[in-house]
Structure 1
Amino acid sequence: MADNLVSRSIVVDAPAEKVFDVIASPYRHHEFDGSGTVKGLLHGPERLELGSEFGMDMRLGVKYRMTNRVVEYEPNRLIAWRHLGTHRWRWELEPLEDGTTRVTGTFDYSYRFVFFYQLTGWPARNARAIEQTLPRLKHLVEDAA
């Protein structure tokens, strides 16, 4: 299973609660998305929680819409969502002793269709996207502090 995860981490100079506030707000996802595919929120709650559904306006060559559901949730520590596909986007927050937070973004494609994801190059593409997303999230949170 660990072979079918793509994870990257960064340390943000802010408490976990501040980082989680940004990630749990679907209205803000386009602000820190490093893939360039998330364009804005179509529908959803102000703040995500377990079971929340939210729709995003997306673009990957062509415009499309995607509805996601939160499938893992621990306030200020963990949130993950999935859509029609079987993969998950997971955000884990680890408060550090100095008041900073280690943020880990993960593309988890371990549930089904592993060969399809590998064949189409999504793990490498999503690794690059996470590497571009994390610094954007870091700056967004730190600039607001």
Structure 2
Amino acid sequence: MTTPETSRSAQREIKAPAERVWDLLATPDEHHRFDGSDMVGESLTPGKLTRVGDVFTMEMLYVSPEVTDRYRTDNHVTVLDAPRCVEWAVAPAGKELLGWTWRYELEPLGPSLTLVTLTNDWSGTPERVMRRFGVPLVSEAQLAVSLELLAAAVESF
């Protein structure tokens, strides 16, 4: 018997100090620059994340052969440990949490090298929500692309 998959992760070394990577991750206005799924749009919440409990709203776009859907998400910060880890739980704007999270963990490997781990975890997502939204929505390859884009964005930030 196999254990069902409940999360996906990707890792990448980024040639920048953890604080510089953190500055980008803690700024929702920049998140569209490092989205490997092509779903994340503009932030409707200006400024930086400052504490657990912050909520930032994002414009989103879902495209499949059957449907194109524009919507908004409220992202509830559940972990904020600068410059080591940020995590948020996702909800449709104004609605209840869906049960999945996005997490970035930063491990300094030197003064200008950081190991970044990106994890999408849906272990708290009810089966009915998984079916409705097609969870998991993002592949490991898309997570890896997100980290490639993050590396490029950090260099120009």
TM-score tier, shorter chain, comes to 0.7 to 0.9
Q: For each residue in 1:102-135, what CA deviation from the matched residue of structure 2 results, as whole angstroms up to 9, or x when unmatched?
A: 0110001112326864897533734232122110
Q: Which has the higher helix share?
A: 1
Q: CA deviation at 1:142?
A: 2.2
> Do the aligned residues in 1 keep the contact of 2:6 with 2:121 (CA within 8 Å)?
yes
Superposed CA offset, 1:20-64 (max 9, x none): 10011000011111111111011x241113111111111102111
Q: 1:74 to 1:36 in 2, by over 3 A?
A: same
Q: Number of residue pairs matched? A: 143
* Residue equivalent to 1:76: 83
Paired residue for 1:62, among 69, 73, 76?
69
Quote the Cα distance in structure 2 between the aligned partners of 1:17 and 1:89.
19
Unaligned runs of 5+ in 2: 63-67, 91-96
Hey, what does 1:104 align to over in structure 2?
117
Q: Is 1:45–1:52's contact at 8 Å kept on the other side of the alignment?
A: no
Q: Which runs of 4+ in 1 moved over 6 A?
A: none
Change (3 A) 1:4 1:115: farther
- Say which of 8, 14, 17 aligns to 2:16: 14
Q: Which runs of 5+ in 1 are unaligned?
A: none
Residue of structure 1 in register with 2:93 after alignment: none
Contact 2:21–2:154 (Cα < 8 Å) also in 1: yes
Identity over the aligned pairs, expressed in percent? Answer: 34
Cα RMSD of the aligned pairs, angstroms, is 2.4
Task: Give yes or no for contact 2:11–2:115 (8 Å, CA) kept in 1.
Answer: yes
Query: Could you tell me how far apart the structure 1 residues matched to 2:18 and 2:4 are?
Result: 25
Letter in 1 for 2:114: T
Distance 1:132 1:81 in 2: 20
Matches within 5 A, 1:1-145: 3-42=5-44, 44-48=45-49, 49-60=51-62, 61-83=68-90, 84-97=97-110, 99-113=112-126, 117=130, 122-123=135-136, 125-144=138-157
